[in-house]
Amino acid sequence: MTPEEFRQAGYAVVDWIADYWATLPQRPVTSQDPPGTLAAGLPAGPPERGESVEAVLADLDKLIAPGLTHWQHPGFFGYFPANTSGPSVLGDLVSAGLGVQGMLWATGPACTELETVLLDWLAQALDLPEKFRSAGPGGGVIQDSASSATLVATLVALHRAAGGRWREVGVEGRYRVYASTEAHSSIEKAARIAGLGRDGVRLIEVDPQSRAMSVPALRAAIEADRAAGVVPALVVATVGTTSTTAIDPLPQIGPVCAEYGVFLHVDAAYAGAAAICPELRFGHAGLEYADSYCFDPHKWLLTGFDCDAFWVADAGELVEALTVLPEYLRNAATESGAVIDYRDWQVPLGRRFRALKLWFVLRWYGVEGLREHIRRGVTLAARFADRVRADDRFELVAPHPYGLVCFRLRGPDEANEQLLAAVSGTRRVLLTHTRVTGRHTLRLAVGAPQSTEVHVDEAWDIISGAAAGLVPPG
């Protein structure tokens, strides 16, 4: 494809996306196609000869779009949001066009340096502790996801816990990772990948009300493990758990980690973005104790997946844990010690120029624009929670400090399952569920860029209406 062919086809694809966004509110938020529908609609093999971009765009409309869950739809309130935005898409487009491979500083100097600077900008915007800025021994990097950040933190923690021997001998003896029972499944997955198995993770009980990690229970677990010859390697504290956005108490967890020399990683995948607003920084109290920290601009900060921002206080330790330097990657810049080679900060070797999308987003919206976006989400969630609170048939199951509201019908789990099914069946609104103290609970997470009061109110109307048949009038 020549540059001129790309120009013409590029306009057409830009138009397709603009039209897609403009028509999103009219589309059903989910597909009703049964499994296998798209697969059955595609040819059995690739075309032998080339086709036009128009033909592909036509199939995008005919075959792909009807089979999607529309994450940017104003009625999408499932999971956590996975925001994107125009400037993010444009930054990603530039990245794709440049086709730069940023594994080493030498293979993309500007790719590396923009990332370092942007992570400093973000740290400043969120008012993260100074130790995470690149001016000192710390610094930031973009990972694909919080799962990978947790994995990297686990590896550095093992490196430290084994006194540096881990690189050579691997997992020898027994190590333990601690997180609350409400923590994300990626912690167990990271421990499994790192060779600790499920037994290498100890899930610490939470306070029944706040759903936050019990610090006495954490201390007791660490002490019991030490007494049994198990080395406590890592505590993962969560700011904004997946089920209910509970906040583990860093000001109390931090000193325990310091006392026992345990690496502390703070996972604020969803809620960290809120800290761009000064009044929403409460979750970060005690963050100065953390050895590493991450949040996902790709969740709630208008930056498309994949963009997890991960910081460490000691980049040297991280590089020591992960680096392998074969001859074919040696170069003068690396050997000068004056540059960052981000391949040593992550699992894969290769890396895209992901800082561009963050740059486009920060410059288009400015910090003030991003604050507005977060505040709108919090306000919309509060508006929805007010509706729930005002209806005796329902109960709020947890506080809603951010953009997530957890609620349920007062009544059996079955009624709540039926409610979720009925709401989903309208295909106007997507909600997901969780369990809180064993009870089936509905989650409404605000954050899609197009969601407004209209859509939150529509969601409530649908939920409220669907509930009418399931419980006696309140």
Minimum CB distance to a second copy smaller for 38 or for 255? 38
Minimum CB distance to a second copy smaller for 150 or for 214? 150
Minimum CB distance to a second copy smaller for 252 or for 424? 424
User: Quick check: 425 and 59 in contact, CB under 8 A?
Assistant: no
Q: Which two tokens stand for residue 63?
A: 């075959």
State the minimum distance, in angstroms, from the CB of residue 459 to a second copy.
18
User: Quick check: 210 and 406 in contact, CB under 8 A?
Assistant: no
Length of the chain: 474
Minimum CB distance to a second copy smaller for 190 or for 239? 190
Minimum CB distance to a second copy smaller for 342 or for 360? 360
State the minimum distance, in angstroms, from the CB of residue 83 to a second copy.
7
Minimum CB distance to a second copy smaller for 99 or for 278? 99
State the minimum distance, in angstroms, from the CB of residue 392 to a second copy.
27
State the minimum distance, in angstroms, from the CB of residue 337 to a second copy.
10
State the minimum distance, in angstroms, from the CB of residue 57 to a second copy.
8
Minimum CB distance to a second copy smaller for 35 or for 229? 35
Minimum CB distance to a second copy smaller for 123 or for 215? 123
State the minimum distance, in angstroms, from the CB of residue 390 to a second copy.
26
State the minimum distance, in angstroms, from the CB of residue 106 to a second copy.
7
| Residues 6+ positions from 84 with CB-CB distance below 8 Å | 72, 298, 302, 303, 304, 305, 449
* Other CB atoms within 10 Å distance of the CB of residue 382: 16
State the minimum distance, in angstroms, from the CB of residue 95 to a second copy.
9
